Amino acid sequence: MESYWWPMLYISTMTKRKIALVACVKEKQNTSTKAKDMYVSVAFKAWMNYAESWGANQIYILSGKYGLLELEDEIEPYDFNLNSVKSQERKLWAQEVIQKLGDKAILNEDQFLVLANSIYAEYLIPHLGHYSMPLEID
């Protein structure tokens, strides 16, 4: 009797995706543009570079206003800071982000790199099976 579990385990391990979630920042363009170009701070650019060097298969932006953004999403400039809203509003925001993310990833299997402060991450990470938050982001 041959064992078929080993090849399946290997395939499962090798197909886990690496997904980076990068927080938005206050410094933005003043015209509508793609999400990846909206945020102009040195810190945001460094986080995007970090996500790429980590080997992310997919990078999403966590926007306080728009929720989960793909890099190519066209968005308008805004002035909204998730850090300054009440816990209940952050929970609702996180639920929407997790719902969208669940359509794009396997939440309990994929590996997530969370480049966000604890306020942005607080209600997201309980839904992620495998994550790391390697940077202290304020």
- Measured in whole angstroms, how far is the alpha carbon of residue 36 from the centre of its chain? 13
Least confident among 10-24, 47-61, 120-134: 10-24
- Tell me what the pLDDT averaged over the chain comes to: 90
**Run of H or E including 112:** strand 111-115
Least confident among 4-8, 15-19, 52-56, 114-118: 4-8
pLDDT band at 1 (very low <50, low <70, confident <90, very high): very low
On the question of pLDDT at 5 being above 60, the answer is: no
On the question of pLDDT at 8 being above 90, the answer is: no
Q: How far apart are CA 96 and CA 100, in angstroms?
A: 6
**What integer is the mean pLDDT of 38-66?**
97
pLDDT tens by residue, 63-80? 999 999 999 999 999 999
Q: Among the residues of the chain, which ranges form H helices?
A: 5-15, 35-38, 42-54, 87-102, 118-121
Q: What is the largest CA-CA distance in the chain?
A: 66
pTM over 0.75: yes
Residue 16, pLDDT score: 86
